[in-house]
Amino acid sequence: MEKSSYAIPDVKDGPQFSKLESTLVSANPAPRPISKDGQHVFRHHNNEDVIVNELDFNFDVRPDEWPLANIESVQDLFSGVVYREHISKEENFSAETAIECLQANGDGSEWLSLNHFKLEDVLDGARGRALQTSTTTMPPKSGMGTTTRKMLIFFVPLIPAPSGSSYQYKLPMTRSSTDLLFTSLHLNPGFLPNLLGRPDYWAPQPRWDAEDGNFLSCDFFCQLPRWNLQSQGAPLSVYSKYDAQEDLILYVISHKQGDTVVNSLCKLLRPLIEHQAQCHISHILQESPFDIYAMICNLNFEASKWHVKRFQRFQWNTVNGVDDFLAGKDQGNRKKLASMLKDLQIVAQNADSHLANAQVFLHSARGICDIARRLNVSKRGRTKQRTLDMLRYLIDSMEKQHMWFANYKGRKENVMNLVFHFNTQTDALNNIELAADMKKDSTSMNAIAGLTMIFLPGTFTAVSPLSISTFPPTEPNSANNHRSPYSVPESSNPPLVNRRFKQPAFGGCG
């Protein structure tokens, strides 16, 4: 195919081009050449990058094993592979099962300490309720209330584990107990990595099951931020599920040992067991399926306030130190300046971490609020509205906290720029003073050079070789045979030196 040439029309009513424009129209520029190294496909790779496998999973799984045996969507394929990958590692589990569970039903609530056999009993009691069947054989129950509802909350403290585990933690459960928990209650298999202590930096994961307009179940899991930047530990992962067919509320909380949020939640729930109106308390706990989630978010938000105050104190101490430095205290102390810059850098890093934590909290709280608003199974509307109001308050408060941290970071930038400008001005003043001192030294050197130029000719004449007498060498046997032929005898002083030290004659002219 021939290339089309763009001819410039030479008519009065045609387009007018400048010389540059006509060159751009008529020219056919060649592609910009690049180096041979730039044309190479693997020009930036390392040797290990060629053989890396980003998806290093065992995809050879048996289709008769859970969860692939009960798969309902192709979206569950990868989560099933991940589940089998982690459930097969013995290092992820303990030799015995030792967890706690809060069980609530229409008769009341109780705390249970579970080993493997007691866990089997609890799951057997909930197995028939949570058994998933098709909508054609078991339609959703009508007229559900809290009288038939049941709630289970499992607390799973993670134990630090040596190398070999998936995420440096292991469960206080055996492998068979963990597999029984997931298969009996049909939990989302994608939650197992979070249960094992995986830091999940991504969005919350909801799942909504409905068929022919009939709601079956929904689940939701996410991680809440870790505000203690000095001591992280295992993340706080919360899984929640509501089964509408059997009216079952389920929570699985994975946390580090001694987690303040989980400890506070347990301390809030334990007195409810001793309450006189057990049926009323049980109904309150089960009325809104996501009430516990709202409580956990509220406790996590309250925990953040302590760390915010700590950050504020450190920031203001740093800013006050900068003010004192600019006011004239220890201005010449370079170590003090370096320490202030280090503290400002710590402020910046902490502000960025708190901003990221606030974003994580907002994503989780908004996800909980959306699914709680969508789920309408509360018999009393005010209970659900209390949950939504609390979540809305937490979202608005965290947005304001995010705004304040963005403001703190801006203040830090201003203070650091001020320190940099002050340091630059100080260095400039020091350079000016140094230049003035160098000018003074230069003036003194010029005076010394002038004096040197004045006395140098006289000095040269005084020691000139022309004024030095040369004596013939003496006999070998002479007593003066040690004298150099270039030595000057005492009686042959230069005339200028003789005239300089000649004594004046006294007694008149003569």
**Is the model more confident about 477 or about 438?**
438
pLDDT for position 179: 95
pLDDT for position 52: 77
Mean pLDDT across the stretch 276-301? 86
Is residue 341 predicted with pLDDT exceeding 70? yes
**108: helix, strand or coil:** strand
> Is 168:197 a contact under the CB 8 Å cutoff?
yes
As a whole-number percent, the residues of the chain with pLDDT over 90 amount to 41
Do the strands 248-256 and 150-160 form a parallel or antiparallel pair, or are they unpaired? parallel
Mean pLDDT across the stretch 31-55? 67
Is residue 252 predicted with pLDDT exceeding 90? yes
* Nearest of 125, 120, 124 to residue 104 by alpha carbon: 125
The domain made up of 288-437 is a member of CATH 2.40.70: no
pLDDT for position 353: 92
> Is 107:279 a contact under the CB 8 Å cutoff?
yes
pLDDT for position 498: 47
Strand partners, 367: none
* Nearest of 166, 199, 163, 187 to residue 240 by alpha carbon: 187
Which residues have a Cβ under 8 Å from the Cβ of 377 and sit 6 or more positions away? Answer: 144, 242, 244, 289
* Nearest of 152, 323, 136 to residue 243 by alpha carbon: 152
In Å, how far are 83, 152, 245, 276 from 183, measured between CA atoms? 11, 16, 17, 36
* Nearest of 241, 116, 138, 130 to residue 183 by alpha carbon: 130
Q: In this predicted model, what pLDDT tens digit does every residue of 305-326 receive, in sequence order?
A: 999 999 999 998 988 888 887 7
Residue 67, preceding peptide bond in cis (omega within 30° of 0): yes
Mean pLDDT across the stretch 449-459? 76
Distance between CA atoms of residues 404 and 408, nearest Å: 6
Mean pLDDT across the stretch 347-354? 91
Question: What's the mean pLDDT when you consider all of the chain?
Answer: 80
Token pair listed for 256:
């580090």
**152: helix, strand or coil:** strand
Confidence tier at 197 by pLDDT (50, 70, 90)? very high
pLDDT for position 222: 94
Is residue 289 predicted with pLDDT exceeding 70? yes
Q: In this predicted model, what pLDDT tens digit does every residue of 6-19 receive, in sequence order?
A: 555 555 555 565 66
pLDDT for position 508: 47
Distance between CA atoms of residues 297 and 302, nearest Å: 9
Enter the DSSP assignment of 165.
B
Distance between CA atoms of residues 385 and 444, nearest Å: 88
Mean pLDDT across the stretch 379-392? 89
Distance between CA atoms of residues 463 and 486, nearest Å: 13
Using alpha carbons only, what angle is made at residue 159 by residues 87 and 204, rounded to the nearest 5 degrees?
A: 65
Q: In this predicted model, what pLDDT tens digit does every residue of 215-236 receive, in sequence order?
A: 999 999 999 999 998 888 899 9
Q: Which residue has the tokens 């830091």?
A: 199
Do the strands 108-114 and 99-105 form a parallel or antiparallel pair, or are they unpaired? antiparallel
Q: Which residue has the tokens 């370079």?
A: 334
pLDDT for position 19: 64
What is the DSSP secondary-structure string of 379-439?
SSHHHHHHHHHHHHHHHHHHHHHHHHHHHHHHHHHHHHHHHHHHHHHHHHHHHHHHHHHHH
Using alpha carbons only, what angle is made at residue 414 by residues 410 and 417, rounded to the nearest 5 degrees?
A: 135
Mean pLDDT across the stretch 149-163? 91
**Is the model more confident about 451 or about 199?**
199
In Å, how far are 92, 174, 199, 435 from 85, measured between CA atoms? 11, 16, 17, 71
Is residue 509 predicted with pLDDT exceeding 50? no
Q: In this predicted model, what pLDDT tens digit does every residue of 173-189 receive, in sequence order?
A: 999 999 999 999 999 99
Confidence tier at 364 by pLDDT (50, 70, 90)? very high
CB-hemisphere CA count at 13 Å for 176?
7
pLDDT for position 132: 43
pLDDT for position 506: 46
Which residues have a Cβ under 8 Å from the Cβ of 189 and sit 6 or more positions away? Answer: 66, 67, 76, 79, 80, 82, 83, 182
Tell me which of 29-38, 89-98, 231-240, 385-394 is least confident: 29-38
**Is the model more confident about 48 or about 264?**
264
* Nearest of 463, 494, 351, 488 to residue 415 by alpha carbon: 351
Q: Which residue has the tokens 């001591």?
A: 231
* Nearest of 254, 354, 261 to residue 299 by alpha carbon: 261
**Is the model more confident about 55 or about 461?**
55
The segment(s) of the chain belonging to CATH 1.20.58 are 288-437
* Nearest of 198, 237, 191 to residue 80 by alpha carbon: 191
Token pair listed for 254:
């994975």
Token pair listed for 108:
């009341």
Identity of the highest mean pLDDT range in 20-29, 97-106, 375-384, 491-500: 97-106
Which residues have a Cβ under 8 Å from the Cβ of 296 and sit 6 or more positions away? Answer: 224, 236, 238, 253, 261, 265
Q: In this predicted model, what pLDDT tens digit does every residue of 398-435 receive, in sequence order?
A: 999 999 999 998 888 888 887 777 777 777 777 888 88
Tell me which of 59-73, 81-95, 252-266, 289-303 is least confident: 59-73
In Å, how far are 127, 195, 241, 383, 447 from 106, measured between CA atoms? 18, 29, 19, 17, 107
